Amino acid sequence: MSTEAQRPSDIRIRKQSRLLVLSYENGEVLELPFELLRVYSPSAEVRGHGAGPGTLQTGKRDVLVTGAEMVGNYAIKLSFSDGHDSGLFTWAYLQELGREKSRYWQDYLDRLDKEGGSRDGSVRYH
C-alpha cells in the first residue's frame, strides 16, 4: 500500500471525547485516544535514541491534543497540552496504532504496572 493510499480522507480532533478520529475512503474509521497518541509519540523523547522500549510516559490520562499540523503528504505533527510537540505521526504509524489499539494499550498498562508508573502521576507506591 502506498503512503498516499494510507492518508485519511478526514481528520477530526474530538476534544470532549479525547479522540483523534481518522476516516478513510474505504469506509474505515480509526479512533485514537489522545493518551495513547501521547504515550506512543514517535519522538526521540518518548522512543529514546536507540533500541529498547524508550522512556515510560506517565501522568498522561488527561492530556489533550491542542493542535495538528500537516507535514508534507506523509504525516501529521500533533501538539499536546503538556507541551509535547516533537513527534511526527506518519499515516502508516497512525493506522498501525488504530488497528492495534488494544494491544498497544495493554502493553502500556502492563509497563506502567511493572515499572510502578501511573496514568495520573509519575510514581505509584504499592
Question: What is the count of structural domains for the chain?
Answer: 1
Asked whether residue 58 is assigned to any structural domain, the reply reads yes
Asked whether residue 40 is assigned to any structural domain, the reply reads yes
- pLDDT given for residue 54 in this prediction: 82
Question: Which CATH number does the domain housing residue 44 bear?
Answer: 3.30.2020.30
Q: Are strands 75-80 and 88-90 parallel, antiparallel or unpaired?
A: antiparallel
Asked whether residue 122 is assigned to any structural domain, the reply reads no
pTM flag (> 0.75):
yes
Q: Which cell is 86 given?
A: 516533537
Q: Would you say 67 and 60 are in contact if contact means Cβ atoms under 8 Å apart? A: no
Asked whether residue 73 is assigned to any structural domain, the reply reads yes
pLDDT digits (tens, 9 = 90+) for 37-55: 999 999 888 887 666 678 8
Domain span including residue 109 = 4-115
